[in-house]
Amino acid sequence: MVNTFLNETKAYKLSEINHIIGGILNSAGEDILIKRLAPPRQADEDTLALAISEEEIANLAESKARAAVVPLGVSIENIATIEVERPRLAMMKLLHLFYTPVDAPAGVHERACVDPTATVGENVSIGANSFVGRGCVIGNNTKLLPNTYIGKFTEIGINCLIHPGVNIGDNAKIGNNVIINHGASIGADGFSFVTETPGTIETAKEQGKIEGDFSRQKIYKIPSLGSVTIGDDVEIGANACIDSGTVENTTIGRGTKIDDLVMIGHNCKIGENCLIVSQVGLSGSVIIGDRVVLAGQCGVADHNSIGADSIIMAKAGVSKSFPEKSIVIGQPAVQRKEFVKQLKAIKDAAKHSEEIKALRKEIEELKKGK
């Protein structure tokens, strides 16, 4: 069985592949022709086996592959190997080499709707049932796949790929080489509201308790005058949501990668080269520094900031700001050192509790002996 998601019409000599990924070719297999990539057990004679873990290296013994990519220092009998220092980096280069681009021929589909005031660059593809609003600018070589919506006065840079079902609101600014995956929402109205008198949330923050009659309270919507700005080389996952800013734009820095099902609230400022993993939620006006990692299902409360090069671990509930190079964990979230200290205190407390019980028993026995 081979990977049908890769283009089987492409073929490269093993020596050509080695030159691209910068490895060490250890056997006389320079002329082996490679047409596909696959794990060892699914590989045939025309396949380059990807053996980048201990399990997959062991599976090479059962593989039909004549060639494999392996970590540095691994040698396999009867198989030509390319040793690489960073296997996942090599795999990335290989997948780009064999990747089949989406089917998006240049031109505007007859069932697409492009406002006559929009500016469309060269070699642009606009798929069926897509809508491009008035005053939009679509850069050269950008692809809008079927069923995409681009609101008025939005600018999209060059070489972008907008997948089906993406909705981009009015006045958004999208940089170059941006990928937005299926069903993402960019520039929806922010979740921003106000009451005439202090409500339960404000009362709780100020007084630490909730007292009073709130039965007649009415909630008023605050509309978003801002939009969203996305830097170059950003990727946004399927069904992610990035809301518009209230007055100024919500911003996503250059090179940041956002996973599926992420929620980024209004007025957030996300730095460059961040990694934001699935189901992360950022409340309004959160500031995230450069190169921050937000692990799965963590949440950051409104108006807090996370310093550059920090890691927020999975499911952390962040209710305060943290400086740069922090490692944060827990609910409520604390620095990892503090979290470990808390765990030790709990463990020690359990131990001390047993010791106290034993001492009480001894005291009772001493009392009985009087």
Query: What span, in angstroms and rounded, lies between the C-alpha atoms of 32 and 203?
Result: 72
Q: Which helix H or strand E contains 263, and what residues bound it?
A: strand 263-264
- Helices and strands (H, E) in the chain, number of each type: 5, 40
* Strand spans (E) along 93-157: 107-108, 113-114, 119-120, 125-126, 131-132, 137-138, 143-144, 149-150, 155-156
Structure tokens, 296: 């799965």
Q: Rounded CA gap, 69 and 77, in Å?
A: 13
Burial class (CB in 10 A: 0-12, 13-18, 19+), 71: middle
Whole-angstrom Cα distance, residue 164 to residue 146? 5
Residue 174 near residue 160 (C-beta atoms within 8 A): yes
Dist. CA 259–CA 279, nearest whole Å: 8
What's the CA gap between 338 and 328, in Å, rounded? Answer: 9
Q: What is 203-252 written as a DSSP string?
A: HHHHHSS--S--TT--EEE------EEE-TT-EE-TT-EEEPPSSSPEEE
- 266 in active site: yes
Q: Is the preceding peptide bond at 332 cis, omega within 30 degrees of 0? A: yes
Q: What is the largest CA-CA distance in the chain?
A: 103
Q: What angle do CA 335, 292, 167 make, to 5 degrees?
A: 130
Strand-pair partners of 241: 185, 263
Q: Which of these, 261, 338, 336, lies nearest to 296 by C-alpha position?
A: 261
The residue annotated as part of the active site, out of 109, 266, 303, 352, is 266
Spatial separation of the C-alpha atoms in residues 152 and 325, rounded to whole Å:
40
Which residues are catalytically annotated? 266
